[in-house]
Chains A and B, each alone.
Chain A
Amino acid sequence: MKIAPREAYGQALVELGQENKDVVVLDADVAKASMTVMFKEAFPDRFFNLGIAESDIVGTGAGFAVAGKIPFVNAYANFLLGNGWDQIRISVCYANKNVKIIGHNIGASSGKDGPTHLPLEDIALTRAFPGMTVIEAADGIEVKKAVRALAKHVGPAYMRVGRLPIPVITKEEDEFEIGKANIIRKGKDVTIIACGVMVSKALEAAECLAERGIEAEIINMHTIKPLDTLTILNSVAKTGAVVTAEEHTVIGGLGGAVAEFLACTKPVPMRIVGSPDRFGVCGTYEEIHEVLGLTVANITETSISLVLLK
C-alpha cells in the first residue's frame, strides 16, 4: 500500500483542528498541493492564504505564535526556506516561537517540474538553526503521528512532506516520539539509518542483504534534530558500521548529522547515501531517484562494500 505524505498531512490537520482550537493554518497559494485545502474547507476561519509571499507567511505565523496560537506554516520547501530563511532565523528560532514550518514537495517528489522545484538542501538549512526540531516521517501513517506530536511540542519545528505516494511501512500501533528513533529491523552486521521514503528502501535493501548473509539493523530516524544519539550508539556498538540514506543532498543532512556525532564519539566505517552535490533533473520520481542514486541497489551495494571493509 502507498499513501502520499501530503494526503496524510491534510487529513491530520483536520483531525488536529477538531481537537485543538488554537491550531491555525497558513499557506502561500499552494493549498491544493500541500493539501491544507482540507483544513480550509473544515475550518475556514482558521485558515489564512497569504498569497505568494513566503517571507511574510513565516512572519505572520510568528505573530500568531506571539498571541498564543499554534500556527502551521505551509509552502513548497525550496521557496519557503529560500525566501523565508531570515524570517525563520530571527522571528521563529531566535525568538523561540512555537511555529511549525512545513516544507512541501520535498526531495524529488515534484518530479518533472525539475531542478528549481526539487528541494534537496532543506534538512541542511533547517538543521543549522539553534533550537529547531527537524522531522521527516517515513510514511503516511507516521506523518499523522508527527503532526500530532508537533502540535504538542512547544517550540520551532520544521517538517518536510513529500508529494507522491510512498510505501506504508509503519503500523498504527508503533510509537512516535519526537527525538526517539524507531528500530524497525534488528541486525548485527551493519546499521542503516534512514528517514522519509528511504526507510522503505532501506527495508528492501535489508532483504537483499539478508540473501547475501548480511543482517542489517534498520533505524527509522524520523527526527533528524534532535538526533537520537543513544539509539545510534547502541546499534553501532553491535554492528560497527553505518550507512545513512536520505532523499536529500549528502551535505549537511541526516548523514551529516550522524557523521558529526560519530566522528566525535565513536568513529566507525560509514557511508552516506543521498543526492550527490548537484541539482536534480526533470524526470519521474523513480527516474530522478535513479539519477541521484537513491535506490535500493545503491543502499545494498554500499552496505556490502562497507561490511567488507570492517
Chain B
Amino acid sequence: MIHNKRQGIIESKELAKSMRKDILLMTHRAKGGHPGGCLSATDIMAVLYKCFMRIDPQKPLWSGRDYFFLSKGHAVPAQYAVLMEMGFLDKEEIKDFREIEGRLPAYPSCESTPGIDMASGSLGQGLSIANGTALAAKLNNSEQRAYVMLGDGELHEGQVWEAMMTAAHYKLDNVCAIVDYNKLQLDGTVEEVKTLGDLTAKWSSFGWKTIEIDGHDFEQIYNSFAEAMQFKRGPTVIIAHTIKGKGVSFMEDEVGWHCASPTDEQLEIAMKELS
C-alpha cells in the first residue's frame, strides 16, 4: 500500500496498463470472457489495490485484511490481473483462465484462488457479503474495510437494494461500494434494457454518501476512496462513470465486447495501443 498520493497514482497508472494487457491476453487465449466490463473497472481496481487495500500477498487470509468483493463476477480477469501484478498469483497463470486445471475459473471462486474471499457469478450478491464482513469487523473493533464493486446492470437485482438498506441501517462507514457505471449490459444499453433513473438520488435516498466521479481519472478515483475513508456517518458509494472497453479503441463503448474475445489480429492491435 502506497501512502504518498502522487507516487500512488503514478504506480496505479502503470498497474492499470499491465492489467489491461493481462486481461486481453487472458480473454484472447481462453476465447471467452468479458473484456468490456473488465476494462471499464481496471483503473478503479488499480488505485484501490495499489493505494488503499491493506492486504498481504504472502498471507492472503491474514485476519486483519481489507476485503474486496467483485460482485460483477464476470469481470474477474481484471481481478486476476491485479492479483498477478500484486503478487498473489503468478503471471504464468494467464494460460489457466477458464481451463479445467489451474486456479482461474471463469467466475470468482474463493476455494480456488488466493486473494479472492467470495465466490460470485450470480449477480446481486456482493454487497450483502461486504456488509457481513463489515459488521464482523465492527464486532471485533477492527479498522478493516470492505469494498465491493457492482455493475450498473447488476443494480436491477433486488438483493442489492435490500443490502443498501442494511448498510445504511447499521451505519456501516467501513463499507465502500463502487458502481462501474459503463452504461452497457449484455442486451444493450442500460437505458434501453431498464433505466436506472437518477442513480445518485436513489443511493442517497437509501442513506448512503454518494460520490460521482470519472472512473478513468486517477486523481478523482484516489480522492473518492480517500473521502470514503474519512466519512464516518455511514456507507459510501462511488458512482464511477466509465467506458466499457476503455483503453482499446475498437472495444470502447461497444456493447458487443460485453462477452467476446479478441482475434489474433485484434489482440495485436490492442497490445500496440496499450504499449
Q: Which residues of A contact B (CB under 8 A)?
A: 24, 45-46, 48, 50-51, 53, 55-69, 71, 86-87, 89-91, 94-96
Q: Which residues between 97 and 127 of chain B lie within 8 Å of chain A, taking CB atoms?
A: 109-111, 117-122, 124-127
Q: A64 and B133: CB pair below 8 A?
A: yes
Complex partner residue of B125 from A64, A66, A87, CB under 8 angstroms: A87
Selected A-B contacts with CB under 8 Å, 13 pairs: A53-B163, A55-B162, A59-B127, A59-B131, A60-B131, A63-B128, A63-B133, A66-B67, A66-B129, A66-B133, A87-B125, A91-B119, A96-B111
Tell me the interface secondary structure of chain B in the complex: helix
Q: A67 and B159: CB pair below 8 A?
A: no
Q: Which of chain A's residues have a CB closer than 8 A to the CB of B137?
A: 67
Count contacts on B: residues with CB < 8 A to the other chain.
Answer: 37
Q: B139 and A69: CB pair below 8 A?
A: yes
Q: Which of chain A's residues have a CB closer than 8 A to the CB of B158?
A: 55
Count of CB-CB pairs between chains A and B under 8 Å:
116
Q: A64 and B163: CB pair below 8 A?
A: no
Q: A94 and B119: CB pair below 8 A?
A: yes
Residue B166 interfacial (CB < 8 Å): yes
Q: A90 and B122: CB pair below 8 A?
A: yes
Question: Given contacts A55-B158, A55-B159, are A69 and B118 in contact (CB under 8 A)?
Answer: no
Nearest CB of A to B76, in Å: 14
Nearest CB of B to A71, in Å: 7
Residue of B63, B67, B109, B119 with most chain A CB atoms under a 10 A cut-off: B119
Residue of B63, B126, B135, B169 with most chain A CB atoms under a 10 A cut-off: B135
Mark each residue of chain B from 190 to 224: 1 if its CB lies under 8 Å from any CB of chain A, else 0: 00000000000000000000000000000000000
Q: Which of chain B's residues have a CB closer than 8 A to the CB of A45?
A: 139
Residue B229 interfacial (CB < 8 Å): no
Query: With A and B bound together, what is the CA distance between A65 and B140 in angstroms?
Result: 13
Question: Given contacts A53-B165, A69-B139, are A59 and B159 in contact (CB under 8 A)?
Answer: yes
Q: Which of chain A's residues have a CB closer than 8 A to the CB of B163?
A: 53, 56, 59-60
Nearest CB of B to A66, in Å: 5
Q: Which residues between 60 and 89 of chain B lie within 8 Å of chain A, taking CB atoms?
A: 63, 67
Q: A63 and B162: CB pair below 8 A?
A: no
Query: With A and B bound together, what is the CA distance between A86 and B128 in angstroms?
Result: 13
Residue B186 interfacial (CB < 8 Å): no
